[in-house]
């Protein structure tokens, strides 16, 4: 049996389930208030589950937002190698899956030749939907 498929604990399942239901990244305290009915009462219970889920790659942390999002890349078990696009307007986050970019990042060495274990890349811009809305608004 695959080591990575070891089953999740109760709290880990509850937290993961809530994150996966959301299209947008969610905040820790929003998770907390939404899962209190399921018996999770205090911040440490949420943060522990988050830590574990990040460690096994099921979710990622969006650093610039202090928020958490489900991994969209199937069978991803590589935490800490993440690329996101973030809309400055609606704050929606998409995980980017671009082989060429991944290769560039994987192969990157600094001046010392240091190899890196991981990376986090966040692109900022205006998503298509928000851009269209802006154009609509200028028409009036």
List residues binding DNA (CB under 7 A): 6-7, 9-12, 27-30, 39-45, 47-49, 51-52, 66
Contacts of a second copy in 98-117 (CB under 8 A): 98, 101, 104-105, 108, 110, 112, 114-117
At residue 19, the 3 state secondary structure works out as helix
Residue closer to DNA (CB basis): 17 or 98: 17
Distance, CA of 24 to CA of 125 (rounded, Å):
16
Segment holding 95, helix H or strand E: strand 93-95
Question: Are the CB atoms for 25 and 62 separated by under 8 Å?
Answer: yes
Q: Which does 98 bind (CB under 5 to 8 A by kind): DNA, a second copy, none?
A: a second copy
Total binding residues toward a second copy, as defined by CB under 8 A: 29
Which residues, 6 or more positions from 127, have their beta carbon under 8 angstroms from its beta carbon?
85, 87, 89, 90, 92
Residue 43 beta carbon to a second copy: minimum distance, rounded to whole angstroms: 17
Under the binding rule (CB under 8 A), the answer on residue 39 touching a second copy is: no
Under the binding rule (CB under 8 A), the answer on residue 43 touching a second copy is: no
Residue 133 beta carbon to a second copy: minimum distance, rounded to whole angstroms: 14
Under the binding rule (CB under 8 A), the answer on residue 91 touching a second copy is: no
Residue 29 beta carbon to a second copy: minimum distance, rounded to whole angstroms: 17
Output the furthest CA–CA distance in the chain (Å, rounded): 61
Question: Are the CB atoms for 123 and 85 separated by under 8 Å?
Answer: yes
Distance, CA of 79 to CA of 109 (rounded, Å):
19
The pair of three-digit structure tokens given for residue 64, joined into one six-digit string: 């610039």
Binding site residues, a second copy, CB under 8 A? 63-64, 80, 85, 88, 94, 96, 98, 101, 104-105, 108, 110, 112, 114-128
């Amino acid at each position: 049996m695959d080591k990575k498929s070891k089953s999740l604990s109760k709290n880990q399942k509850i937290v993961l389930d809530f994150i996966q239901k959301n299209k947008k990244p969610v905040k820790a305290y929003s998770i907390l208030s939404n899962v209190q009915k399921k018996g999770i009462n205090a911040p440490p219970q949420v943060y522990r589950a988050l830590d574990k889920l990040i460690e096994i790659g099921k979710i990622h942390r969006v650093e610039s937002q202090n928020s958490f999002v489900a991994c969209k890349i199937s069978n991803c078990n590589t935490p800490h190698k993440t690329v996101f696009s973030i809309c400055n307007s609606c704050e929606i986050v998409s995980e980017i899956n671009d082989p060429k970019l991944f290769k560039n990042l994987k192969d990157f060495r600094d001046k010392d030749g240091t190899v890196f274990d991981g990376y986090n890349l966040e692109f900022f811009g205006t998503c298509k939907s928000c851009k269209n809305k802006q154009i609509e608004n200028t028409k009036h």
